[in-house]
Amino acid sequence: MATLLVCRVGGEAVLGPLCFESPLPVVNLREKLHESVSVDRSQEMVLLQNGNVLLDAAKLEGGSLEDPLTITLVITAKTYRAVVWGPCADGPQHAEVSEQLEGNIKSVACTGYTFAAVMAAGSVVTWTGNGFESDAANSRGVAGLEDGVQQVFGNDKAFVALKAGGEVVVWGDPEAGGKAPPAVLEKLRGIAWVARTNEAFAGVKENGQVVTWGNAEFGGDSSSVSESLKADVVSVVGTFGPSSGAFAALKADGSVVAWGDPERGGDLGPAAEQLQSGVTSLCAGGSAFAALKETGKVVAWGHPEQGGKLVVHFTDDEATQESFSVEEELSSGVVSIVASDDVFVAVKEDGKVVTWGVAEDGAYLANIEKDVAKELESGVLSVTPAACSFAALKTDGRVVTWGVDSLGGDSSSVASKLKSGVARIPCFRWPSQHGHAALKEDGSVVTWGFELGPIMDAPEDELASGVVEVVGNPTGYVALKHAPVSSSA
């Protein structure tokens, strides 16, 4: 057994001495603190050990009754500072806002070429890289972005801001959802969450009603299923293919409603009967969908060669293998599903990975290294997709990668850093980036991928500690990290 003591700045004890079985995850300590310390939504608990921020995934060891491990509690505004790299850090727009990005950031969202930071005061700051043109980057003069903004969502070309009191502000490419007719804007009031395709949005209201706008070819027109979207929708997902798109909504009764391009999943087709009930979650790829049922079975629809059928499909004309079905493996026991542009990955109860879609982009596991394939047979906790590669987080904190070597499938250059201690691997704006970033328990970030891409320009010194999130698009990346917190302040 070990012992710890939690004190406020100044020395006042708020918890302990507390005996615990070592090691103690920081997230468990945080739960105990929430029972005795009041924190509102705009604040967060920051825990420090020897002046360093402790992230939830870290583990505490040591300390005795005579000399307990001392943790300092600081209650502060839930804000961060941004570390920006890649082309998005170049040019006059970033230079104009760089000082603002040094602190007081609540969150960051992005479109294909623009980043938007929501500040603690409720204002929005946007920027893009030198040489990139984007209507969404021009947020100056957009009414309603000066204060009160709580959250921002982006598709490829436009943004949506949700404000306190239910007001909604949109800007960016008018054809892609950056402008909404007055009749639609009125319906948007009270939206709680937003799904998106490349050029359209679907807002989900608190009563489960769905409102859509943007390019009709990407699902911006849901009039064909409007009656089914009036209430009781619990979640919506959208495809992210560049040429057209579709949405799928999960209702409270476990049924699914889809609209948009029928060839990209906007029509349930032969899968309709299996999607009338019992669905618990949905996953969208670039041109197809997958539904997970309460029995652990997977149902897919959309583009048949890109995940719309439970088949590993070979696109190379010189391929000697025949396409084959994985339907039987996906008939039960699946607990989660993720997708890249054209490959879906399911994780089963025992941690085994099952893939389908385009073989050459990562769906054909028999073609990867034997050691990696063996690692994917069990013990996988989660999988994060990129455009043509995948990173699997194992239950012991290790990372295993596969896919196109040069686009993130080969992580040998950072293998020593991925052997343990990885807490999470964020999925970027769409799963179409050519690289990965792993967040470790100590708050550091490990990056790998396309050697000529911005992912490899990561500033290692800045990413060595305190990072809580990484956001990316083709122009670069933004890491949110805790600003230095003084335990003696």
Contacts of residue 74, defined as CB under 8 A and 6 or more positions apart, other chains included, come to 8, 9, 45, 46, 47, 48, 485, 487
CB contact at 8 A, 247 and 238: yes
Determine the topology of domain 2-77 in CATH.
Ubiquitin-like (UB roll) (3.10.20)
Omega of the bond leading into 385 within 30 degrees of 0 (cis): no
Strand 476-481 relative to strand 467-473, pairing: antiparallel
Three-class secondary structure of residue 271 per DSSP: helix
Q: CA-to-CA distance for 373 and 282, rounded, in angstroms?
A: 26
Secondary structure (DSSP) of 396-436: TS-EEEEE-GGGTT--GGGGGGGSS-EEE----SSTT-SEE
Three-class secondary structure of residue 371 per DSSP: helix
CB contact at 8 A, 105 and 119: yes
Chain length of the chain:
489
Contacts of residue 390, defined as CB under 8 A and 6 or more positions apart, other chains included, come to 340, 343, 345, 362, 383, 384, 401, 402, 403, 409
Beta-carbon count within 10 A of 276 CB:
12
Q: CA-to-CA distance for 243 and 304, rounded, in angstroms?
A: 16
304 Rama class: left (phi>0) / alpha (psi -120 to 50) / beta: alpha
| pLDDT, mean of each 10-residue run, the chain (489 residues) | 84 85 86 79 77 80 86 82 91 88 92 92 89 77 91 94 91 94 86 94 94 96 96 96 94 97 96 97 96 97 96 83 93 96 96 96 91 95 92 96 91 94 85 81 90 78 91 90 57
Strands of 243-394, DSSP E: 246-251, 256-260, 279-284, 288-293, 298-302, 311-313, 324-325, 334-339, 343-348, 353-358, 380-385, 389-394
Residue reference for tokens 């607990």: 335
- Exposed, middle or buried, 177 (CB in 10 Å: 0-12/13-18/19+)? buried
Q: CA-to-CA distance for 446 and 208, rounded, in angstroms?
A: 39
**Amino acid, single-letter form, for residue 362:** G
Secondary structure (DSSP) of 290-322: EEEETTS-EEEEESGGGTTSSEEE---TT--SP
Q: What is the pLDDT of residue 50?
A: 80
Q: What is the pLDDT of residue 484?
A: 58
CB contact at 8 A, 115 and 154: no
Strand 380-385 relative to strand 389-394, pairing: antiparallel
Three-class secondary structure of residue 146 per DSSP: coil
167 Rama class: left (phi>0) / alpha (psi -120 to 50) / beta: beta
Q: Which helix (H) or strand (E) holds 182?
A: helix 182-188
Secondary structure (DSSP) of 69-126: EEEEEEEEES-BEEEEESGGGSSHHHHHHTTGGGS-EEEEEE-SSEEEEEETTS-EEE
Contacts of residue 169, defined as CB under 8 A and 6 or more positions apart, other chains included, come to 142, 143, 144, 145, 149, 160, 161, 163
* CA dihedral sign, ordered 355, 358, 359, 360: negative
Q: Which helix (H) or strand (E) holds 52?
A: strand 52-53
Q: What is the pLDDT of residue 486?
A: 45
